[in-house]
């Protein structure tokens, strides 16, 4: 358009100047007329193109034009406001209805979880157990299907400190387990304790100190404080049950650490020193103390300071002790003869460097035991016992990589991962006697399907010299949590 205006302006200027200058010749006039004609034709062609473009464009509906004008600033009507209010009331009703009919509520923050085990077992050694009732008799059993453990747990916060993380939390759990020589199974209280963070927990590079009061696991060694969902082997080490350490106790236990090494890139935290110390009844779960003496338990562990990529990562050496009093009775009767010492010492070494790991525990026990037939001639003897437990395992699969676990993914999907292992477990109940130890060799495989689900396959070979028996057990178990 600017070019056409230029030509028109030039033509008009030429005509205007013609009146003041000398009269042009016929040839000059013809040239000027031809230039003006070309400019007019170009303008006409441009106008035709604009008209065709306007016809091709879709027409804007009148309603759209009105809506656009309303959106530009026209006020809403009373009907519009009433419609919005009605929609809000319907939304509030639906949310409240879903909360009342389809949402579990509690007065405090609450997480519900649990662990369930389903097991199939076969043994080359027959099991026979007499009982007073026909339902309790076990007659030459070689195989069985069992649900050895079913645990329901509740955890949460009673007070949450957003500034420093000095939180007050709780844990409550109950479990049912299979009964020996009985068809009865009851839901018993397992964990019931409050925990308070004495030191701030916001910064992972600072020390920790937590105090737990109530019924809980003991901080002794490696296997005793491990919860049911973290144990790699189906059957526990022999010393945990034969020395009474697997029982939960009621009391006050403080746990903490000092000078942690933190690798933020791998979400890795390893304190230089970790410790635990507590006082408990010593009479087992769900019972009051049976004497005035209290039992003391403690643990101290040293971890080699290193970052996540170091070969020294997760090399830990720890020591534990347990000391208490137990009531003593005349053998075979309920006649009390006093109290005796119950002492346990433990030394453990852990090297858990992905993808392989090694653990070793040495436990020594000393128990005062009454010997005699009457209260007058009963004497107290000290019996020493010891145990050696070593486990080697190898992991392969992405589930064991922390960087992979930190990635977001849909629901509970995980790639399958595998953990073959071998365990040596020897327990000698009386070191002063010969040929009374029991040794269990276990070869197994753990297959992880999800973060809370795994399949366990164990083959145990037991050499029991006290009973002069050697036999094998084949165990297959699904363990799943929610």
| Residue pLDDT, tens place only, 444-461 | 999 988 777 899 999 999
7-27: average pLDDT: 51
Question: Per-residue confidence at 4, pLDDT binned at 50, 70, 90?
Answer: very low
Quick check: 13 pLDDT over 50? no
Here the tokens at position 365 are 């026990």
**Residue listed under structure tokens 């309603």:** 63
Query: Which long-range contacts link 341-344 to residues 24+ away (Cβ below 8 Å)?
Result: 341/366, 341/367, 341/368, 341/382, 342/244, 342/282, 342/295, 342/366, 342/367, 342/368, 343/367, 344/220, 344/243, 344/245, 344/320
Q: Helix (H, G, I), strand (E, B), or coil: what is residue 38?
A: helix
318-325: average pLDDT: 96
What average pLDDT is seen over the chain?
84
pLDDT at residue 346, rounded to an integer:
96
| Full-model pTM | 0.75
pLDDT at residue 314, rounded to an integer:
86
Omega cis (within 30) before 79: no
Does residue 186 fall inside a structural domain? yes
Question: Per-residue confidence at 28, pLDDT binned at 50, 70, 90?
Answer: confident
Same domain, 149 and 241: yes
Same domain, 21 and 165: no
Domain of 338? 115-481
Same domain, 389 and 266: yes
Q: Helix (H, G, I), strand (E, B), or coil: what is residue 40?
A: helix
Same domain, 279 and 423: yes
Does residue 373 fall inside a structural domain? yes
436-440: average pLDDT: 95
Residues 6+ apart with CB under 8 A from 321: 296, 297, 298, 299, 343, 344, 345, 346
| Residue pLDDT, tens place only, 333-388 | 888 888 999 999 999 999 988 788 899 999 999 999 988 878 778 888 899 999 99
Does residue 97 fall inside a structural domain? no
| Residue pLDDT, tens place only, 405-432 | 555 555 556 667 899 999 999 999 999 9
| Residue pLDDT, tens place only, 87-115 | 999 999 999 988 888 888 888 888 999 99
Does residue 444 fall inside a structural domain? yes
Same domain, 357 and 447: yes
CB atoms within 10 A of CB 311: 9
Residue 73 or 447, more confident = 447
Residues 6+ apart with CB under 8 A from 372: 330, 331, 378, 379
Count how many domains the chain has: 2
316-332: average pLDDT: 93
Strands (E), 160-248: 168-177, 188-197, 208-216
Q: Helix (H, G, I), strand (E, B), or coil: what is residue 186?
A: coil
Does residue 61 fall inside a structural domain? no
Same domain, 272 and 406: yes
pLDDT at residue 482, rounded to an integer:
84
| Residue pLDDT, tens place only, 169-180 | 999 999 987 765
Same domain, 219 and 362: yes
| Residue pLDDT, tens place only, 119-134 | 999 999 888 777 766 7
| Residue pLDDT, tens place only, 190-246 | 999 999 999 999 999 999 999 999 999 999 999 999 877 677 899 999 999 999 998
Here the tokens at position 318 are 């720890």
Whether residue 437 contacts residue 248, with contact meaning beta carbons closer than 8 Å, is answered with no
Strands (E), 330-394: 336-353, 356-371, 379-394
Same domain, 126 and 35: no
Same domain, 173 and 50: no
Does residue 74 fall inside a structural domain? no
Does residue 82 fall inside a structural domain? no
pLDDT at residue 140, rounded to an integer:
82
Quick check: 19 pLDDT over 50? no
Helix (H) or strand (E) holding 159: strand 149-159
pLDDT at residue 54, rounded to an integer:
63
Distances (CA, A) of 480 to 59, 311, 316: 64, 33, 29
Measure the CA angle with vertex 107, ends 105 and 112; round to 5°: 55
Q: Helix (H, G, I), strand (E, B), or coil: what is residue 104?
A: coil
Does residue 391 fall inside a structural domain? yes
Question: Per-residue confidence at 8, pLDDT binned at 50, 70, 90?
Answer: very low
Where residue 241 sits, what CATH number does that domain have? 2.40.160.10
| Residue pLDDT, tens place only, 275-315 | 999 999 999 999 999 899 999 999 999 999 988 788 888 89
Same domain, 165 and 277: yes
Same domain, 41 and 123: no
**Residue listed under structure tokens 């990589």:** 401
| Residue pLDDT, tens place only, 144-175 | 998 888 999 999 999 999 899 999 999 999 99
13-28: average pLDDT: 55
Question: Per-residue confidence at 185, pLDDT binned at 50, 70, 90?
Answer: low
Same domain, 212 and 306: yes
């Amino acid at each position: 358009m600017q070019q056409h205006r230029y030509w028109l302006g030039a033509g008009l200027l030429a005509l205007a100047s013609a009146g003041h200058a000398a009269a042009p010749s016929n040839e000059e006039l013809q040239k000027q007329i031809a230039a003006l004609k070309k400019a007019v034709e170009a303008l006409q062609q441009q106008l035709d193109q604009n008209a065709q473009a306007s016809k091709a464009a879709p027409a804007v509906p009148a309603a759209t034009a009105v809506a656009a004008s309303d959106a530009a600033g026209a006020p809403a009507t009373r009907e519009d406001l009433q419609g919005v209010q009605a929609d809000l009331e319907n939304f509030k009703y639906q949310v409240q209805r879903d909360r009342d009919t389809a949402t579990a509520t509690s007065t405090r923050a609450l997480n519900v979880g649990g662990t369930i085990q389903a097991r199939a077992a076969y043994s080359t050694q027959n099991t026979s157990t007499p009982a007073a009732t026909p339902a309790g008799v076990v007659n030459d059993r070689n195989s069985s299907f069992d649900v050895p453990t079913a645990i329901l747990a509740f955890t949460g916060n009673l007070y949450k400190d957003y500034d420093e993380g000095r939180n007050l939390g709780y844990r409550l759990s109950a479990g049912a387990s299979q009964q020996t020589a009985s068809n009865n199974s009851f839901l018993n209280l397992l964990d019931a304790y409050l925990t308070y963070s004495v030191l701030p927990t916001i910064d992972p590079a600072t020390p920790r100190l937590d105090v737990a009061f109530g019924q809980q696991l003991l901080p002794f060694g490696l296997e005793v404080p491990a919860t049911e969902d973290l144990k790699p082997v189906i059957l526990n080490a022999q010393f945990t049950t034969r020395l009474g350490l697997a029982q939960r106790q009621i009391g006050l236990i403080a746990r903490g650490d000092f000078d942690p090494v933190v690798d933020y890139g791998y979400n890795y935290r390893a304190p230089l020193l970790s410790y635990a110390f507590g006082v408990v009844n010593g009479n087992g779960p769900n019972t009051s103390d049976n004497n005035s003496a209290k039992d003391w338990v403690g643990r101290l562990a040293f971890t080699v300071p290193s970052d996540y990529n170091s070969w020294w990562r997760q090399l830990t050496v720890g020591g534990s002790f347990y000391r208490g009093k137990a009531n003593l009775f005349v053998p075979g009767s309920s006649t009390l003869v006093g109290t005796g010492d119950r002492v346990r010492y433990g030394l453990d070494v852990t090297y858990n460097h992905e993808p392989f790991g090694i653990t070793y525990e040495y436990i020594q026990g000393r128990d005062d035991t009454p010997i005699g037939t009457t209260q007058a001639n009963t004497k107290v003897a000290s019996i020493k016992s010891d145990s050696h437990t070593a486990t080697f395992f190898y992991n392969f699969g992405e589930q064991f990589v922390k960087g992979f676990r930190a990635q977001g993914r849909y629901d509970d999907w995980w790639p399958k991962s595998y953990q073959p292992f071998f365990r040596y477990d020897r327990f000698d109940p009386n070191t002063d006697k010969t040929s009374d130890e029991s040794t269990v060799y276990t070869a197994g495989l753990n297959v992880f399907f999800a973060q809370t689900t795994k399949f366990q396959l164990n083959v145990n070979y037991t050499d029991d010299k006290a009973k002069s028996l050697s036999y094998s057990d084949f165990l297959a178990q699904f363990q799943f949590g929610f």
